[in-house]
Amino acid sequence: MILEELFKNNDAYYLSVHLWSDAGGKLRFAPWDFDLTLGYPYYDCGATGFVGRAAFVDALAASPTFRQRLVANWLCPASSWEEEHSRVLAWFPERTAWLGTHVGSF
């Protein structure tokens, strides 16, 4: 859910969601399809506000335990965020350079 909200995915929770449970019965959530994100111009994609929520998201949000874990996952220590941010910023140019060289062999 953090990714859906961070990217403000207009398909979040309705069209671009995959829910499953693992062998232990724990519910898992996997987003995909990020074409209507990051300020997509044909929808209200301003930088503020939350994505429209489905009933199952409202049910999760009503749980204090869920909200506590959501906040804990968002508020990671700054040093680890900075390290990850630096890693991603270094990775993208490498990846796009590699793709630029190898896309013809796709």
Helix (H) or strand (E) holding 29: strand 27-31
Alpha-carbon torsion 50, 56, 58, 63, what sign? negative
* pTM assigned to the model: 0.61
What are the tens digits of pLDDT across the range 15-57? 877 888 888 888 887 777 878 777 776 666 667 778 888 888 8
- Domain ranges in the chain are 2-75, 78-106
